[in-house]
């Protein structure tokens, strides 16, 4: 049985004092265990990263970019192995894991472009014989705390860009599925990354608290639930650190009466049930404008859901796999049951899917609930499972009110053929990422990812241009070389040109 350790200074370190089991969510069986770092383990990793920083900061930008190019090639070469690790510990079907990896690789490609982003600005003769320019300098040791649902993609949102900007990095992946993150970090070393520049430390609150309070760590990136995001943001900033903390979501799709219903149905099938709904950009609420649109949408979804295929990652024809744990499965089932008891209509019930003969694994089938209202727990909370709630509205303004009034503001989308409605929606909806006939408006790598309201704590979003700004400090330099033949007397007024 395997034991997953840490990667510190390019070496594998095993913690045996405290461990957690690693379960295959498709069977519920223990496949190994992961050692949890102590405060000292994390302090050792921080020391290693701090020691590696000066040389890495001074490494030419082009050389750092070359390592990223080789890292991209390593990821592509070992794609099947990476997807296998994701599937075994997370439960993702290979085609879904491949999509996750591809989006991660796109962020590595963006990191290859970092020398262009770091050029800064230059102005000659801003005053007599005075030049001024700005440059972007790395922060030092920075860290990322990442969730279970994207064990490869979300870390790749963070450290390729951070280390390309000249920082050293400590990754604290989810202790539920750490193997893929460790394997990918080893590939970065194979690509030529020096020891100590990228470290991976597995752990729980003890490890996280050390990152949040150690003065050597300059910045924290986090993706996870809103309560934890808020706590991490408060703690990190109170200790003088930069922090971007991405939290939960309740993403609404609005379906207008003029929408192409067949297209909307197909889009929502993937957006609601892909990855078992364990996505912060999953569509979990469909707001149908008018009863006719609602009935057509529900009829279409019900028909398509009859052919949903769920199971383990061994069968790539499955649409989605299990949830991450038995505890999470029970929570999802509880929220489905609460909707039913609150008076909603359970159109498709996925609480007891038949997957394995022995009823093992943490599976919940696709679930469709109609007549959900704002006061229900199933509407208010992020379910994070393959559950789509249908809410009915009389017009676009009422439908947008559901989005705008919710505490989360991560993503949203509108299905319509009306350009005026689409423009009005885009201008006035209160969410950070908006799709028009696009159900998962996840920005490409050269834009930035981030929501509004209680979906993001901090001023800068993840990856893209915001990511580069987050991992660097701007420094502006004004320089003058006085003429030996011209001496000026002292001036006591505020300097100007």
CA 313 remoteness from chain centre? 22
Number of Cα atoms under 13 Å in the Cβ half of residue 430: 16
- How is the chain split among helix, strand and coil, in percent rounded to 5? 40, 25, 35
Torsion angles phi and psi, residue 103, rounded to 5: -65, -30
| Paired residues of 393 in beta bridges | 289
Cα gap 36→145, rounded to integer Å? 14
Q: Which of 307, 280, 279, 290 is nearest to 415 (CA)?
A: 290
Cα gap 480→487, rounded to integer Å? 13
Q: In sequence order, what are the residues at sequence separation of 6 or more whose Cβ sits closer than 8 angstroms to the Cβ of residue 122?
A: 131, 132, 133
Cα gap 431→78, rounded to integer Å? 36
Residue 259's CB is within 10 A of a number of other CB atoms, namely 24
Torsion angles phi and psi, residue 3, rounded to 5: -125, 120
Cα gap 276→162, rounded to integer Å? 30
Cα gap 43→37, rounded to integer Å? 10
Q: Is 49 exposed, middle or buried (0-12, 13-18, 19+ CB in 10 A)?
A: buried
Is the CB of residue 165 less than 8 Å from the CB of residue 137? no
For the record, the structure tokens of 209 come out as 């608290």
Cα gap 23→1, rounded to integer Å? 11
Q: Which among 83, 243, 280, 389 is annotated as catalytic?
A: 280
Is the CB of residue 287 less than 8 Å from the CB of residue 295? no
Q: Which of 300, 285, 292 is nearest to 257 (CA)?
A: 292
Backbone Cα Rg of the chain: 25
Q: Fill in the DSSP letter of residue 449.
A: B
Cα gap 368→308, rounded to integer Å? 12
Q: Which of 274, 326, 328 is nearest to 24 (CA)?
A: 326
For the record, the structure tokens of 160 come out as 């390729």
Tell me the C-alpha to C-alpha distance, in Å, between residue 356 and each of 30, 307, 315, 321: 17, 17, 13, 12
280 as an active site residue: the answer is: yes
Cα gap 109→445, rounded to integer Å? 8
Active site residues per annotation: 280
């Amino acid at each position: 049985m395997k034991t997953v350790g840490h990667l510190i200074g390019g070496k594998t370190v095993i913690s045996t004092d405290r461990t957690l089991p690693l379960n295959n969510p498709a069977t519920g069986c223990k496949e190994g265990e992961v050692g949890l770092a102590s405060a000292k383990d994390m302090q050792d990793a921080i020391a290693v990263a701090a020691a590696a920083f000066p040389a890495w900061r001074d490494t030419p930008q082009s050389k750092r970019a070359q390592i990223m190019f080789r890292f991209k090639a390593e990821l592509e070469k070992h794609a099947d192995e990476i997807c296998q690790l994701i599937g075994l510990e997370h439960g993702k079907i290979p085609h879904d894991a491949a999509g996750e990896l591809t989006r991660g690789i796109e962020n590595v490609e963006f990191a290859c472009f970092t020398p262009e982003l770091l050029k800064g600005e230059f102005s000659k003769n801003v005053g007599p014989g005075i030049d001024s320019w700005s440059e972007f300098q790395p922060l030092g040791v920075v860290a990322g705390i990442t969730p279970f649902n994207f064990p490869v993609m979300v870390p790749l949102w963070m450290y390729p860009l951070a280390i390309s900007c000249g920082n050293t990095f400590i990754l604290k992946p989810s202790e539920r599925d750490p193997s893929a993150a460790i394997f990918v970090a080893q590939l970065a070393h194979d690509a030529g990354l020096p020891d100590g520049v990228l470290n991976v430390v597995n752990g729980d609150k003890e490890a996280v608290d050390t990152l949040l309070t150690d003065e050597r760590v300059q910045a924290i990136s986090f993706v996870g639930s809103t309560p934890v995001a808020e706590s991490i943001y408060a703690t990190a900033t109170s200790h003088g650190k930069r922090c971007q903390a991405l939290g939960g979501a309740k993403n609404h799709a609005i379906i207008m009466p003029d929408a192409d219903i067949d297209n909307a149905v197909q889009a929502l099938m993937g957006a609601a049930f892909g990855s078992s709904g364990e996505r912060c950009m999953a569509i979990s609420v469909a707001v149908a404008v008018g009863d006719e649109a609602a009935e057509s949408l529900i009829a279409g979804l019900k028909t398509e859901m009859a052919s949903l295929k769920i199971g383990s990652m061994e069968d790539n024809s499955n649409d989605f796999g299990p949830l991450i744990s038995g505890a999470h499965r029970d929570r999802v089932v509880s929220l489905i049951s609460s909707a039913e008891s609150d008076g909603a209509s359970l159109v498709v019930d996925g609480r007891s899917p038949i997957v394995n003969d022995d009823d093992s694994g943490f599976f919940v089938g696709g679930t469709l609930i109609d007549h959900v209202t704002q006061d229900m727990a199933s509407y208010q909370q992020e379910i994070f499972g393959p559950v789509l709630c249908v809410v009915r509205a009389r017009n676009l303004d009422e439908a947008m009110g559901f989005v705008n009034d919710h505490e989360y503001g991560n993503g949203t989308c509108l299905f319509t053929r009306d350009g005026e409605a689409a423009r009005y929606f885009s201008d006035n909806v209160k969410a950070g990422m908006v799709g028009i006939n696009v159900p998962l408006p996840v920005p490409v790598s050269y834009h930035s990812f981030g929501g509004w309201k209680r979906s993001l704590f901090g001023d800068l979003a993840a990856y893209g241009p915001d990511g580069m700004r987050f991992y660097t400090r701007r420094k502006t330099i004004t320089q003058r070389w006085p003429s030996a033949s011209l001496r000026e007397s002292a001036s006591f007024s505020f300097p100007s040109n």
